[in-house]
Structure 1
Amino acid sequence: MKKTVLTFGLISGVIISVLMDGSVLLADKIGSGHSLLLGYANMVASFLLVYFGIRSYRDNTLAGQISFGRAFACGILITLITTVCYVATWEVLYFNFMPHFMDSYFAAQIHKVQSSGLDPATTAARVAAIQHSQQLYQNPFVNMAYTAMEPLPVGLIITLLSAAILRRRAPVEPTATSAVMTP
């Protein structure tokens, strides 16, 4: 399983990293709403390799048979490798090439809350929560955890679906007591 997981995990990781680079470059041109949609579409596209990785493992290593649990284990490992690649790419991009990206993001979130027409107490509470998140995000470990929570749920869903679709049990051999002779 190790070779399959590493191969498909790293290919998926390269795909998600390259697509993230492209979507970050386009973020200003297409707007934040479309950028978010493009980002999740990129995740789904890269996590399709989970399906192909499980299928490859089943067909090439397990003679065409795989349980749901084993398929899930293979898929979740591919997902974790892909997620690590995603997080590593974001950390490099964020801390080296666009350190003010999140400042702009949080400023836009604060502006959105302030112009929403909420009562002053609710507005102040939400702005304080956003500012607290902004401070937390400067810690690289918190930043990594937040970043991992973007692709991980998508990969988990695709892993569950792929494991359910690709599971295949060994054919049941008829026994002497279960075989019924008919005239």
Structure 2
Amino acid sequence: MKNTVIKFGLYGFLLAIVLFLSGLYFGKGMDFSTQEVVGYLTMVVSLLFIFFGIKHFRDNINSGEVTLTKGLLIGILISIFTASGIAIADFIYTSVINPDFFTDYVAMMREQGHTEEIPDWCSGFMAFIMFITVLIIGLIISLISALILQRKN
């Protein structure tokens, strides 16, 4: 199980970093709504390695069997890798590539009529929020994948 988690976790980690930074860097001219959609697509595509990791474990490592619990555990562990990749990419983007991101985002929110207090978040906190967001989506994908792939002989 360990090798499967590391292998598919690293695939998700690398794909997350590449897609997330590419989407943010090349999407600088896009509005924030479009960037948000691209960001969520990046998360979901990177988290698809959960399904393939559970399937690989079931078919190639564990003699065609995987329980719901074991599949869920594999999926969550792979999610941690992917969430880490997106959090690192988000931190790099908001602290190195586009350090004015928060200022621009707050200005856009005010232009759209949001008058409530918008907190002044740092890059580290936003990276943590991204990590948690990806982990929650990963949990959902893990549960769905484990339900689909569970098999006892």
Name the residue aligned to 2:17: 17
Name the residue aligned to 2:133: 150
TM-aligned CA deviation for residue 57 of structure 1? 0.8
Secondary structure, aligned partner of 1:63: coil
Any gaps of 5 or more consecutive residues in structure 1?
115-122, 171-183
Letter in 2 for 1:19: L
1:100-139 correspondence to structure 2 within 5 Å: 100-114=100-114, 123=115, 126=116, 128=117, 130=118, 133-134=119-120, 137-138=121-122
Following the alignment from structure 1 to structure 2, what is the Cα–Cα distance between the partners of residues 99 and 53?
Answer: 35
TM-aligned CA deviation for residue 39 of structure 1? 1.4
Name the residue aligned to 2:51: 51
Rg larger in structure: 1
Secondary structure, aligned partner of 2:65: coil
TM-aligned CA deviation for residue 147 of structure 1? 2.0
Name the residue aligned to 1:79: 79
Across the aligned residues of Structure 1 and Structure 2, the Cα RMSD in angstroms comes to 1.5
Letter in 2 for 1:150: T
CA-to-aligned-CA distance 1:73-116 (integer Å, 9 cap, x gap): 000000011101111121122212211111111111122125xx
Deviates more, 1:19-28 or 1:54-63: 19-28
Pair 1:23–1:58, CA change in 2 (3 A) = same
TM-aligned CA deviation for residue 144 of structure 1? 2.9
CA-to-aligned-CA distance 1:108-144 (integer Å, 9 cap, x gap): 1122125xxxxxxxx3xx1x2x1xx22xx1262x233
Instruction: Verify the 8 A CA contact 1:75 1:159 in the aligned structure 2.
Output: yes
With the length of structure 2 as denominator, give the TM-score of the two structures: 0.92
Instruction: Verify the 8 A CA contact 1:26 1:35 in the aligned structure 2.
Output: no
Match of 1:159 among 137, 142, 146: 142
Pair 1:139–1:28, CA change in 2 (3 A) = closer
With the length of structure 1 as denominator, give the TM-score of the two structures: 0.78
Letter in 2 for 1:14: L
Following the alignment from structure 1 to structure 2, what is the Cα–Cα distance between the partners of residues 164 and 154?
Answer: 16
Following the alignment from structure 2 to structure 1, what is the Cα–Cα distance between the partners of residues 21 and 133?
Answer: 15
* Percent identity for Structure 1 against Structure 2: 29
Following the alignment from structure 2 to structure 1, what is the Cα–Cα distance between the partners of residues 137 and 45?
Answer: 10
TM-aligned CA deviation for residue 13 of structure 1? 0.9
Following the alignment from structure 2 to structure 1, what is the Cα–Cα distance between the partners of residues 106 and 139?
Answer: 28
Pair 1:15–1:157, CA change in 2 (3 A) = same
